Amino acid sequence: MEACKIMLPEYVAELLDHLDRKGYTGYLVGGCVRDALLGRQPEDYDIAVAAAPEQLIHAFSGYRTVETGVRFGTLTVLVQEYPVEVTSFRREGAYTDSRHPDRVEFTDSLTADLARRDFTVNAMAYRPDTGLIDPFHGEEDLRRGVLACVGDPHTRFSEDALRILRAMRFCSVLGLSPDPRLMAAANSCSPQLSEISVQRIFSELEKFLCGEHAGQVMRQFIKPLCTIIPPLEKAVGFDQKNPHHIYTVYDHIAATVEACPPQRLLRLTMLLHDIAKPYVMTEDANGVRHFRGHQERGAQMAREILTHLGCDRRTIEKVCRLIRWHDLRPAPDRISIHRYLLQVGYEDALLLTQVRRADLSAQAPAYHDQLSQIDAAERMIRRLQAEGAPVDVGGLAVSGGDLLALGIRPGPQVGELLTALLKAVADGKVENEKKGLLKKTLQLQEKAE
């Protein structure tokens, strides 16, 4: 086989040379080796070296460094302004809480350092002069497209259950298939996910959701996913018995996650958009199932789930709005779209077109012709946006002050008139232009009296 060669950025080569001069042999390890072998641009470069933390600090005394992780043997070195994490070879001690190893042990053995890593594809090391060092056959697994644990998966997931979610992330982002033993252990160790902090869970969840293969991973890792989001469990195998749908609720959700662009807001929305369906279901005399109110209830459930997972406020508010409105289907004509924009605003309207496309693509094919309606709606939204059509009273060509100058008495009627003007503009009854709006104000005022 051809010897593996990885192109290093100059700052990484400088760092390795510097270590060489100080008498230490540094290796690229982990994600950067994996990504380079896959032909993907590594996010960052991690170096492992047989040197104790104090020796590292000494060796890099001429560089700017950050010592935050130094207790665990990690020193961040700034090389040509790029941060590089340099870590002492470690082996990990026993775990008692499936989160933190009880102690960190340093070692001179690269193999021992690689053995503590989670997956074979993450347990490779590289140096330009030595080539690839791959005691656990990660390269072969990459070639076969398989994600496997280093060592016994049950043991490795019991040590640190977060690895289950990392497995989901790597399968989703890299398109790997879980090795059957890994899959079985992920299922049986799922209950231990309850010991992991919600921040770490949510951060992995987002990364997994944004992978290209998130839908496939959802179908494989049902148990771990339902362990971190328990209300999702009812969706699994839930037959919709409705002519619009060909999938169970869970499979529909998985298909929509995969079908929408890989942005966290959209993917979180799709993950939760139909979560309330099993909770609000009614069945009519013909045995057809209905899900009235699942949008509102789903928004409530999403709020609870995301709050529990420590998600930030802004994201929660946005996702809940998108879920509440995900079934709105404005006709693509100008007036209907403008009215719709008064309700949802431009930003959410554009996101909702993505939500609706993903949702529709995972429904019965007979309904797919509605896609052209969504396209037409999007074109109209963009057209109104380009024209600067107002979607709130702030966008009107008159202000509250203008109305007062016209002789309107101060008080709540000012706001009510502005809202009525906005509606009149959306309905095409008046242009958003000062003279016409003031005239319209007087007409509205007369009618009110």
Closer of 43 and 387 to ligand ATP (Cβ): 43
- 116-124, 174-182, 349-357, 425-433 -> range binding ligand ATP (CB under 6 A): 116-124
Pairing of strands 146-147, 131-133: unpaired
Q: Which of residues 211-250 bind ligand ATP (CB under 6 A)?
A: none
Q: How far apart are CA 273 and CA 405, in angstroms?
A: 47
Q: How far is the CB of 216 from ligand ATP (least distance, A)?
A: 19
DSSP label at residue 133: E
Nearer to ligand ATP, 97 or 375 (CB): 97
Instruction: Give the single-character DSSP code of 42.
Output: P
* Contacts (CB under 6 A) with ligand ATP, residues 1-30: 30
Q: CA-to-CA distance for 98 and 95, rounded, in angstroms? A: 6
CB-side exposure of 36: number of CA atoms within 13 Å?
22
Q: Which is nearer to Mg ion, 85 or 296 (CB)?
A: 85
Cα–Cα distance, 346 to 375 (Å, whole number): 15
User: Which region among 115-123, 272-280, 288-296, 327-335 touches ligand ATP (by CB under 6 A)?
Assistant: 115-123
Find, among 195, 199, 187, the residue nearest to 225 by Cα. 187
CB of 136 to ligand ATP, least distance (A): 11
User: 46 or 402, CB closer to ligand ATP?
Assistant: 46
Chain residue whose CB lies nearest ligand ATP: 31
44 or 239: whose CB is closer to Mg ion? 44
Write phi, then psi, for 421 (nearest 5 degrees): -65, -45
Kindly state whether residue 31 participates in binding ligand ATP, applying the rule CB under 6 A.
Answer: yes
What is the three-class DSSP state of 313? helix
Q: Which residues contact 278 (CB under 8 A, 6 or more apart)?
A: 234, 235, 238, 249
- For residue 169, the minimal CB distance to Mg ion (Å) is 12
Dist CA 396 CA 430 (whole Å): 11
If one asks whether residue 118 binds ligand ATP (CB under 6 A), the answer comes out as yes
Which tokens go with 26?
Answer: 């540094």
23: left (phi over 0), alpha (psi -120 to 50) or beta: left
Residue 367: CB atoms within 10 Å: 14
Q: Which window, 25-33, 56-64, 117-125, 385-393, contacts Mg ion (CB under 5 A)?
A: 25-33
Closest to ligand ATP by CB, 19 or 28: 28
**Residue 399 identity (one-letter amino acid):** S
Among 4, 11, 18, 31, binds Mg ion (CB under 5 A): 31
Cβ 163 to ligand ATP shortest distance, Å: 5
Q: Where are the extended beta strands (E) located within 30-130?
A: 46-49, 64-66, 74-79, 82-88, 90-92, 104-106, 125-127
Residue 162 binds ligand ATP (CB under 6 A):
yes
Our separate counts of H helices and E strands in the chain read 21, 13
163 binds ligand ATP per the rule CB under 6 A: yes
Alpha carbons 293 and 307: distance in angstroms, whole number: 21
Nearer to ligand ATP, 44 or 427 (CB): 44
Say whether residue 178 binds ligand ATP (CB under 6 A).
Answer: no
The least CB distance from residue 12 to ligand ATP, in Å, is: 14
Per-residue contact track with ligand ATP, 32 to 51, x per CB under 6 A?
-----------x--x-----
State which of residues 113, 134, 141, 160 lies at the interface with ligand ATP (CB under 6 A).
160
Nearest approach, Cβ of residue 30 and Mg ion (Å):
6
Of the candidates 156, 105, 113, the one whose C-alpha atom is nearest the C-alpha of residue 135 is 113
Closest chain position to Mg ion (CB): 31
The interface region with ligand ATP, picked from 159-167, 222-230, 288-296, 304-312 by CB under 6 A, is 159-167
CA distance 293 to 276: 9
SS3 of 69, please?
Answer: coil
| 201 vs 344 by CB, closer to ligand ATP | 201
Cβ proximity to ligand ATP: between 30 and 298 the closer is: 30
Per CB under 5 A, residues contacting Mg ion are 31
Per CB under 6 A, residues contacting ligand ATP are 30-31, 43, 46, 117-118, 122-123, 160, 162-163
